[in-house]
Amino acid sequence: MKPRVEHLEEAFGIGERSPRLSWRLPPGADAQTAFRVRTTDGQDTGWLPGTDHVLVAWPFAALGPAQRVTWQVRVRTSLGESPWSPPCVLETGLLSPADWSARWIRPAEDSVAPAGQRPGHELRGEIVCAGPVGSARLYATAHGLYEAFVNGVRVGDQELTPGFTQYASRLQTQTYDVSALLRPGVNEITVLLTDGWFRGQVGLLRAADQWGAATAFLAQVHVDGRVAGGTGDGWTSRVSAVRAADLIEGQHADLAAGPGPWSPARLAPELGFDGLVGAVAPPVRRIEELRPVAITTLAPDRRVVDLGQNINGWVRLTGPAGAEVTLTHGEALGADGDVDMTHLAPALPFLPHPLSAGQVDRVTFASAGVFEPRHTTHGFRYVRITGLADFSADDVTGVVVHSDLTMTGWFSCDDERIERLHEAAVWSFRGNACDIPTDCPTRERAGWTGDWQVFVPAAAFLYDVAGFSTKWLRDLAADQWDTGVVANISPTPPAEGRHGPLGGWNGSAGWGDAAVIVPWEIYRAYGDVRLLAEQWDSMRAWLGFVERSAAAGAHPDPHLWDSGFHWGEWLVPGDVIGDMATYQARDFTDVATAYFYRSASLMAEIAAVLGHDPAPYAELAERVRAAWQAEFVAADGRIRPDTQANLVRALAFGLVPPEHTRAAADRLAALIRDAGTHLATGFLATADLLPVLAEHGHAALAYDLLAQDTEPSWMTMLDRGATTVWEWWDGVNADGVARDSLNHYSKGAVIGFLHRYTAGIRCLEAGYRRFRIAPIPGGGLTRASATHDSPYGRIRSSWEITDGVLRLTVEVPPGTSAEVVVLSATEDVGPGTHIFEHAY
Ligand code: RAM
């Protein structure tokens, strides 16, 4: 029955006093009529009538801090009364400032080196346990990144803790079970503390000290329900063997010189306990290890290791005593076969020269041993290693690091290239799910709103991103300006915020709309109504900004959004961005007004879900649509601008008057064919391109675009060696030269077409409580299959064509129903496995 708490596999250290519970129904059940929840400490709801079993409200009194509850559920369905589910444990963390008696401390640090060259510090303290330890917890967080050790043993397996949030408002705390690590008597707690996002370089500008000029650490240990100690008086600190650690620049460990001398750590009474939050998303972990597929010797002391896959993470290296090794991580090789770093260095018009690409680790081994730089990450497939006389593939391990999200989606078919494209998109997501959804794991690693808006539907099919997105949306709301502007990136480092040099680039259509679209997509995929309620004010503030911005434009119709800064369709093939002032002067009224309509119309739907009056939003949406049509649809139905992206967006959002839909879709098809069956979409419209074609009678063309292998196309990426999706269509040009990021998921959103059209799994009611299976075969495929683990259970659509017969197998989880559309026949089915056969 898979009981679950909130959106977490492990509900440990949660910050929620009334967490919602979910469970699945027994196989074969069609619907729940009643349920009963009990806890091992004797609470019991008795039988409660109800059909809901996804995100059910907490049925008991609100929880207190550090409270552990073991609960079970049983259900009444068509199959009768189920047995009790297996027990499920949840535990709260510390919930309010009053729960903390420990005090923040800082390492003794008299001078601070330039960003990127700052050493990590070790902190040390003791916890005395009077007698045998039953159950013990460590609660910890930091300004910076920390790793904690109890009696020399690393605590837990989370990486890059405390994670990345808008630190000015929210800081995550972690809860660890240290029962097995503490012993009676004196216990030593040591901590490695480095700059991380808090004080190290972040974002495009490589700005440091964004949330403070000093690092700090806070920990509290509870033994058998009582506070046993924590950070405060008596702690000491020293410079660690990590001589530099920075998320962008890399990590430098001098294991030969070792750590410096101890001195007293400093109390930081100015730091309080407001804004400390518990876990709502899975932590970052080391997820997978890769062996090199090739090692190329360029010179006696210069070798390039190829992991065969572009990843986010680091390399674990075994080295001999005394070796001084440098590891340089990149995504591409230059013509000389060496790692090319030039395309990863941010170059900005107002900077005299490109900034550092970073991604360099250095280690000096004292004795033969292992180096693993856990206080930085890199986006890379290749690593150049110098300073290591001789090594083999066994000495080098690629460590894949990202949020430990549960995989929920799979796709396969009999075209190996399409499968590889799907795989590349999955890897791009994995490369960009490092506690926040990032644009790329190299150049800026920033939580770009537009990127997540575009990719979230595909991501929500592949992985459970509900908690991950909830956490990020709270940052988005925290970052929102008082004008309602949604920042380009969340968390926003102040240097990239409103008052920084990039301040004027915020408030863009298609980016800011993430405030509405992301909660909506999460609601659709997971049925989370509370998230909509939580984000409602943020959405309203965004829509308010859009309305005012549109009204302030030059056009007499206040519903045409013709003012402000917009990224526009962004990175259409062959575009030259040029300087930003010129770019800014381009007219993106079509894009902006389309998104104005999109957000207003979604908010009408959201209002209805939340029980607010949808009419004002629906009416606003209608006025915006009318404005868009008046401006962009001619009397004969022709639509301008006459571009693929505009037609895709207009059709996908429902902006085209119904009588002209057919002609608009045909015009889109003609534009594609005139371009030699090539796409011309950029960031925003690419995800909808193939779906729109398929929806409007051009499925064959959609498959032709997918199969296209000349530039611009997805297959060109694969043919030029991509293992992740590129930022630009020509991320590597015909001469093999790389530009910008080679790991950006936005264009990989095309795989949503494989899930929703090729395999045909489409959500109809939130959480897939009701869904459609409507596969659209094509592209010469003779079989395709997709599986999605929805909140209600496993959905599968699998078809094959043999001897002129299309045979479709559909799996419908308990508690749900599906509308199956095969060719032109439609049938409604309930839970179970169903097989359909049609002449094809
Ligand atoms: C780039 C980012 C991101 C995109 C913005 C507009 O710098 O990488 O992908 O959303 O520009």
Question: CB within 8 A of 162, min separation 6: which ones?
Answer: 140, 141, 142, 145, 146, 171, 172, 173, 174
Q: Which of 505, 434, 418 is nearest to 472 (CA)?
A: 434
Mean pLDDT of 606-618: 98
Q: Per residue in 413-437, pLDDT tens? A: 999 999 999 999 999 999 999 999 9
Choose which residue among 449, 452, 570, 684 to substitute to test ligand 1 binding: the one with the highest number of ligand atoms within 8 A of its C-beta.
570
Residues 480 and 605 in one domain: yes
Active site residue 9: no
Distance 518 CA to ligand 1 centre (A): 17
For the chain, the average pLDDT equals 97
Q: Specify if 699 maps to a domain.
A: no
DSSP state for residue 514 in the 8-state scheme = H
At 183 the pLDDT is: 97
Tell how far CA 754 is from the center of its chain.
20
Instruction: Retrieve residue 143's tokens.
Output: 């300004």
For residue 824, the model assigns a pLDDT of: 83
Q: 73 and 103, same structural domain?
A: no
838: which 2 tokens?
Answer: 């049609």
Q: Given this model, what pLDDT does residue 347 score? A: 83
User: To test ligand 1's pocket by mutation, which of 518, 591, 727 has the most ligand atoms within 8 angstroms of CB?
Assistant: 727
Please report which confidence band the pLDDT of residue 389 belongs to, taking 50, 70 and 90 as the band edges.
Answer: confident
Q: In a 3-state reduction of DSSP, which class is residue 455?
A: helix
pLDDT in tens, 543-562: 999 999 999 999 999 999 99
Residue 705 counted as domain residue: no
Does the pLDDT of residue 627 top 80, yes or no?
yes
Based on the fold, state whether residues 113 and 200 are members of the same structural domain.
yes
Number of domains in the chain: 5
Closest ligand 1 atom number to CA of residue 449: 10
- Phi and psi for 228 in degrees, rounded to 5? -105, -10
Which of 355, 378, 399 marks a domain boundary?
399
Domain boundary residue among 568, 601, 632? Answer: 632
Question: Of 360, 376, 399, at which residue does a domain stop?
Answer: 399
pTM of the model: 0.98
pLDDT above 90: residue 352: no
One domain, residues 76 and 118: no
CB 802, CB 816: distance < 8 Å: no
Q: Which amino acid is at 406?
A: T
* CATH number (domain holding residue 354): 2.60.120.260
pLDDT score of 518 more than 90: yes
Ligand 1, CB cutoff 6 Å, lining residues: 439-440, 444, 448, 450-451, 567, 570, 744
State whether 538 and 471 are in the same domain.
yes
Query: In this structure, which residue's CA is closest to atom 8 in ligand 1?
Result: 439
If you average pLDDT over residues 157-183, what whole number do you get?
A: 98
CATH number of the domain encompassing residue 776: 2.60.420.10
pLDDT digits (tens, 9 = 90+) for 742-766: 999 999 999 999 999 999 999 999 9
Instruction: Report yes or no: 86 and 71 within 8 Å, Cβ to Cβ.
Output: no
Looking at residue 30, its amino acid is D
Does the pLDDT at position 719 exceed 80?
A: yes
Where does the pLDDT of residue 1 fall: very low under 50, low under 70, confident under 90, or very high at 90 and above?
low
Q: 484 with 563, same domain?
A: yes
Verify that 383 and 484 share a domain, yes or no: no
Domain residue limits at 179: 97-249+272-277
* Structure confidence by residue, pLDDT tens digits, 130-169: 999 999 999 999 999 999 999 999 999 999 999 999 999 9
Question: Is residue 18 included in any domain, yes or no?
Answer: yes
Average pLDDT score over residue span 298-303: 96
- Of 650, 512, 520, 510, the closest CA to residue 592 belongs to 510
* 478 shares a domain with 563: yes
Quick one: what percent of the chain has pLDDT higher than 70? Answer: 100
* DSSP code for 755: I
Query: Mind listing the pLDDT tens digit for each residue in 224-248?
Result: 999 999 999 999 999 999 999 999 9
Catalytic, out of 6, 16, 727, 811: 727
Residue-wise pLDDT for 13-52, tens only, equals 999 999 999 999 999 898 999 999 999 999 999 999 999 9
83 shares a domain with 123:
no
780 in the same domain as 799 = yes
Domain-embedded: residue 707: no
Residue identifier of the C-alpha nearest atom 2 of ligand 1: 439
Please indicate whether residue 695 is annotated as part of the active site. Answer: no
Query: Has residue 305 been placed in a domain?
Result: yes
Angle at 255 between CA 253 and CA 259, to 5 degrees: 90
Helices (H), 696-800: 699-707, 714-719, 751-753
The tokens describing 286, both together, are 């080391």
Tell me whether residue 529 is in a domain.
yes
The answer on 469 and 618 residing in a single domain is yes
Average pLDDT of the residues in 376-384: 98
Closest CA to 93 of 150, 162, 17: 17
What spacing in Å lies between the alpha carbon of 729 and ligand 1's midpoint? Answer: 14
CA of 217 to the centre of ligand 1 (A): 33
CATH code for the domain in which residue 541 is found: 1.50.10.10
Question: Do both 11 and 85 map to the same domain?
Answer: yes
- Segment (H or E) for 617: helix 615-632
* Residue 349 in this model has a pLDDT that exceeds 80: no
| Residue 327, in any domain of the structure | yes
Task: State the distance from the centre of ligand 1 to the C-alpha of 448, rounded, in angstroms.
Answer: 7
Averaged pLDDT for residues 184-198: 98
In a domain, 267, yes or no: no
